[in-house]
Structure 1
Amino acid sequence: MRIDRIEKSKHKQERVLVFLEGGDLLRITGAELLRFGLYKGMDLPPELVVELQAAAQKSELKQTAARMASGQMLSKKEVQRRLTKKGATEQEAEETADWLESLGAVDDAGYAGVIVRHYGAMGYGAGRVRQELHRRGVPKELWDAALEQLPPPEEAIRKFLAGKLRGRGMTPEDSRRLAAALQRRGFVWQEIRPVLNEWGQEIEET
């Protein structure tokens, strides 16, 4: 196959279009253009075309992943999930996520810290934060170190109760309702009960 002409895509900045005699079209990136030394009139044997297409697919996958990571913080697992949804194989997605990590564009430990600080500032307990770390694909071995950044649970619980009661006293009905709400926010009974005691409330665990 002989290259008839080479043009930059008008629709995708990073894409290069290689038109072959006979009407075939190869969609590659600038990286393949330089790596394979392509030029107008060059003969491409079939095996080189296959290699070129595979290399171009890998480059486009990396560019897609880089755009994902630059737009928002993601875990490696989230990058892999999104790439597979776009048609990448599990192996391709994993290798591309590893590449992003090697560049520092993906940092699971740093991302875990951001999640913990965000939900901690919103007044959530460790249980709720663990759910979020799991949902976002952060490896479990990173959880404990990240969770150390949460404010003391008693402090968060006092703040939550003060915001709900707004200066009035706490009734037994309030204590049951607010205790249930705090459990839904990820706090455990052993953390909730001492603070309720400060308000003069003694209720059984539900």
Structure 2
Amino acid sequence: MRLSKLSPSQRAAGRWLVQLEDGTLLRVGENEVVSFALYSGKELTGEEVEAIRAAGRETAVKEKALSLLSARPMSRKELVDKLTARPRDREKEPLTDRAGAEAVADRLEELGYLDDGAYARTVVRHYSAKGYGRRRLQEELYRRGVPRDYWEEALAEAAPAENGVDAFLRKKLRPGDLENRKALKRVTDALARRGYRWDEIQEGLRRCGAELE
């Protein structure tokens, strides 16, 4: 089969359009143009066409993965889920299958672009700085698909519980609230939702001078 036209994409930088004489249109990257020595008028075998198509798909997946990671850090699971997600247009196929996404994730891990351990520490530092307790930090790590093997090392970087509890109480308690059972219950419930244990909350209230039963 003859390659009838080779032209750069007008929509995506670094992408090329390969038009075959039967009307088939392949989208490839610059690497494929070079590695397959593509040019207009070149004769291609069926095997070469399939190899170009597969290489173009792999390049598209890699570019999408790098685009996602440049937008924000994420776990391996988050990246694989996004790469294999079905588009909003249900008639279109996902960008790749699970095996293809896992292969790209493997390569990005080798290059250092994807690191679940570093990502876990980033998540813990971020939510700890916002005043959340250990349980909430664990929930965030679970929600983001971080393997449990990385949890303890990451959680060790969390700020001491008393820092978050005391800062929250200073912000939320008003004069007279220390004698108001409803007010104390309100801040206690709020701290529990933020991931603090009851004993951590109790100690914080005592540091503020609250009389607890």
Q: Give the equivalent residue in structure 2 for 1:123.
A: 131
**TM-score normalized with structure 2 length:** 0.89
CA distance in 1, matches of 2:41, 2:186: 78
Structure 1: where are the runs of 5+ without partners? none
The answer for the alignment partner of 1:190 in structure 2 is 199
Q: Take 1:104 and 1:95, find their aligned partners in 2: how far apart are those partners?
A: 14
Deviates more, 1:118-127 or 1:191-200: 191-200
Q: Would the aligned equivalents of 1:76 and 1:98 in 2 still touch at CA under 8 Å?
A: no
Alignment partners' CA distance in 2, 1:84 and 1:180: 39
CA displacement at 1:201 relative to structure 2: 2.3
Aligned pair 1:79/2:89, yes or no? Answer: no
Within a 5 Å distance, the mapping from 1:38-77 to structure 2 comes to 38-77=38-77
Residues 38-93 of structure 1, C-alpha deviation per residue, up to 9 Å, x if partnerless? 22222111111111101110111101111111111111111101001151211111
Q: Counterparts of 1:25 and 1:182 in 2: how far apart (Å)?
A: 58
Structure 1 residues 167 and 104, CA gap change in structure 2 (3 angstroms): farther
Q: Equivalent residue of 1:170, what SS?
A: helix
Deviation per CA, 1:107-151, whole angstroms, max 9, x where unpaired?
Answer: 222211121111111111010111111111111111111111111
* Equivalent position SS for 1:186: coil
**Identity, % of aligned positions:** 38
**Equivalent position SS for 2:189:** helix
Cα separation, 2, equivalents of 1:149 and 1:51: 47
Contact 1:126/1:187 (8 A) holds in 2: yes
Letter of the aligned partner of 1:182 in structure 2?
L
TM value normalised by structure 1: 0.92
Structure 1 residues 11 and 167: alpha-carbon distance in aligned structure 2, compared to 1, 3 A threshold: same
Could you tell me how far apart the structure 1 residues matched to 2:159 and 2:11 are? 49
